[in-house]
Every structure is written in structure tokens, then in C-alpha cells.
């Protein structure tokens, strides 16, 4: 790995937004596609890792970054699942190369092997992979609740392992895909793995997504190294993420009819629209220097009060710097086996 190279200039494109206390906005609205937010941005020579990049939002993120010239590694639990995407992009002859490597976020040894064998700079890490609403409490061999292990602890361990590569890039970005479900579930430091409280699939999912946002807040300690980290809610999208949701719940959501046919509601996004905010945070010069914030619909989200019913926004419990630091210490200790 190259050590302490000179920071590389920001890619061409829109001018950076000035620092401001008000929520950041961009020229892109809720319907923008990944290709729109990266139009005119040259990522030639940049290296990116996208977890869960074989399908859904991850695949659209890979497509956009590669089209802009980035060298993209798809990190996925099943390598064979990425072959259709690799074949597609190879045939299309895009500007950037795409590779695939095995990564099981719920297995610390797999995460360690991925990071330990990464022998290059890393400009972009997109923590996109995730699981949602496991119907029963499922634990990893370490005793971690599976959603927290996959959605948060695995990504935290990956970022720690890849930290030297991100630091040495001179100006790197971490993008963490969270969810609006975080609003209903602060992180429970007393019982994060549901050992004493009753297990609830959606509470467990929401807690893992709160942890994702808190990770980006805690990553402010890396800002002096040129590393920024931001979280996002991609919006409502039908992808493989819903595979553990039962039919009755899908009908209650209004996206499945009595015959079992799945159809998005009018306000749902396509996968490419859902990936737009990920790509914006990963590559747009509009976000140069911005860190520790939460975005949705290609703009920084408003902070909502507890009990507020209007959809969207970010809960204060997910932006609390003290909770972020406490969670960082908790996760680091858990990874050490404490």
C-alpha cells in the first residue's frame, strides 16, 4: 500500500457547497437518478468498495461509480451473485473496471480477511449491504443479533480495517445506507442483542440503522485524516431487502395484492432513484468536506422531535455525539471479544 501520498484533487463537476448550519440542499430532487447526480464527475483513478453491490441499490451504485470511471469492488457474501452484473458491465465497456470479492459482514474473520488483503488506496467505501426484519431472533456465533451484526458491526469492523487505505487516499468518503426505521429505535446500550427484552424484528432493524447513523457521527475523529462519513435514507424501494417480510405485512404496507403480486406504491422509487443519494454522497463535489450528517432525497434531512409522526427526517438520538462515542467504544470492545 502506498503510504501518505499527496492528496488528490477533487473530481471535476459542481462547485462544493459552503459550510453552513442550515440543512444542505443540492440541485437534485427526490426523483433524480444515480446517473443524474454524478453527471460530469470524473472518478478516473478513484477506487471504491460497495458492500452488497451485486443487486438492488448496491448494483445501481456500482453502475454509476463505474460509469464515472471508478475502479469498483463489489463486496458480497455470494461471489456468484455478482456475475450477471459483472457480465453486463464488461459487455457495456464502461469507463471503470469492476471486480468482485467475498465478504460476509456477520463473520468477523471474513471482514478481517477482506481488509487485511486490501493492498491499495481506497477513496470510497459504500456500506450498502443489509438485512431487514428477520422474523425470529437470530444470533451469530459471537452472540450478536444478526441485524446489528450485519448492518452495523460488520461495517464498523470493515471501516476500521480499511482505515489505513482510506487515510492514505488523502480525501476519502464513507457512505452508510441507513433507513427511516431508525426513528423508532434508539440504540439500547443495556440490551443491544435482545437478551432480556422481547425480540421485535422492526425494533432490531431500526436499532441497527440508528447505529449506522451514529457511526458516521463518531467518525468525526477521522476528519483530520481527510475522511468524511455520512448516512442516508434511500427512500421506499422494492428490492431483495424485503425477502424476510411476510405476505401479511407486505399487504399491510399496500405493496402486495390478494393474489401475491407485488407492486410499488406511487411514491416508491426505482432502484436507480434510490441509489442517487448514495452516489451523491460518494462522489459529488457538492459534498466535499461534509461529514457526520444524514441525507434523504439528495438533501440533508431535517431533525425531528420524538413522537413526531410526519415521515422523513432524522431523529436526534441518531445524531447525539455522546451516544456516537459510546457506541464506538462499545463496538470496538465487542470486536475485541469483550
Tens digits of residue pLDDT in 25-69: 999 999 999 999 999 999 999 999 999 999 999 999 999 999 999
- Label residue 173 by pLDDT band (50, 70, 90): very high
For position 268, what pLDDT does the model report? Answer: 73
For position 92, what pLDDT does the model report? Answer: 84
- Label residue 246 by pLDDT band (50, 70, 90): low
For position 251, what pLDDT does the model report? Answer: 64
- pTM to 2 decimal places: 0.89
For position 18, what pLDDT does the model report? Answer: 40
- Label residue 226 by pLDDT band (50, 70, 90): very high
Give me the mean pLDDT over the 66-95 stretch: 93
Q: Which of 199, 205, 267, 330 is catalytic?
A: 205
For 200: left if phi > 0, alpha if psi spans -120 to 50, otherwise beta; the answer is beta
Distance of alpha carbon 242 from alpha carbon 233, whole angstroms: 16
Return the C-alpha cell found at 131: 438485512
Alpha helices of the chain — where are they, by DSSP H?
34-37, 56-67, 83-92, 108-116, 146-148, 154-168, 201-218, 247-253, 271-274, 276-283, 321-335
Q: Which of 81, 98, 104, 155 is nearest to 125 (CA)?
A: 155
Compute, in degrees rounded to 10, the torsion defined by CA atoms 316, 321, 322, 327: 90
For position 12, what pLDDT does the model report? Answer: 36
- Label residue 306 by pLDDT band (50, 70, 90): confident
Compute, in degrees rounded to 10, the torsion defined by CA atoms 119, 123, 127, 129: -60
pLDDT(228) > 60: yes
Tens digits of residue pLDDT in 320-334: 999 999 999 999 999
Does the active-site annotation cover 205?
yes
Amino acid at each position: 500500500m502506498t503510504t501518505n501520498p499527496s492528496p488528490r484533487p477533487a473530481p471535476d463537476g459542481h462547485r462544493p457547497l459552503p459550510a453552513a448550519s442550515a440543512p444542505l440542499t443540492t440541485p437534485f430532487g427526490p426523483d433524480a437518478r444515480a446517473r443524474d447526480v454524478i453527471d460530469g464527475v470524473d472518478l478516473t483513478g478513484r477506487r471504491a468498495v460497495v458492500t452488497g453491490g451485486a443487486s438492488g441499490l448496491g448494483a445501481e451504485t456500482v453502475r454509476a461509480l463505474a460509469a464515472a470511471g471508478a475502479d469498483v469492488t463489489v463486496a458480497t457474501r455470494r461471489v456468484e451473485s455478482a456475475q450477471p452484473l459483472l457480465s453486463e458491465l464488461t459487455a457495456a465497456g464502461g469507463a471503470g473496471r469492476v471486480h468482485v470479492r467475498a465478504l460476509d459482514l456477520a463473520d468477523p474473520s471474513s471482514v478481517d480477511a477482506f481488509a487485511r488483503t486490501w493492498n491499495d488506496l481506497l477513496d470510497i467505501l459504500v456500506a450498502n449491504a443489509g438485512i431487514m426484519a428477520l422474523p425470529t431472533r437470530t444470533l451469530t456465533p459471537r452472540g450478536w443479533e444478526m441485524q446489528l451484526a450485519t448492518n452495523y458491526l460488520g461495517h464498523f469492523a470493515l471501516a476500521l480495517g480499511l482505515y489505513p487505505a482510506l487515510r492514505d487516499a488523502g480525501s476519502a468518503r464513507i457512505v452508510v445506507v441507513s433507513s427511516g426505521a431508525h426513528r423508532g429505535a434508539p440504540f439500547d446500550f443495556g440490551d443491544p442483542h435482545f437478551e432480556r427484552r422481547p425480540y421485535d424484528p422492526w425494533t432490531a432493524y431500526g436499532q441497527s440503522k440508528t447505529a449506522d447513523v451514529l457511526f458516521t457521527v463518531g467518525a468525526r475523529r477521522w476528519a483530520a485524516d481527510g475522511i468524511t462519513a455520512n448516512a442516508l435514507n434511500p427512500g421506499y424501494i422494492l428490492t431483495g431487502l424485503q425477502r424476510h417480510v411476510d405476505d401479511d405485512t407486505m399487504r399491510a404496507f399496500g405493496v402486495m395484492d390478494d393474489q401475491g403480486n407485488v407492486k410499488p406504491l406511487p411514491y416508491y422509487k426505482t432502484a436507480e432513484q434510490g441509489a442517487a443519494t448514495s452516489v451523491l454522497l460518494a462522489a459529488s463535489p457538492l459534498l466535499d468536506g461534509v461529514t457526520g450528517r444524514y441525507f434523504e432525497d439528495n438533501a440533508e434531512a431535517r431533525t425531528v422531535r420524538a413522537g413526531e409522526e410526519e415521515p422523513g427526517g432524522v431523529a436526534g438520538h441518531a445524531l447525539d455525539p455522546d451516544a456516537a462515542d459510546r457506541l464506538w467504544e462499545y463496538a470496538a470492545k465487542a470486536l475485541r471479544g469483550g
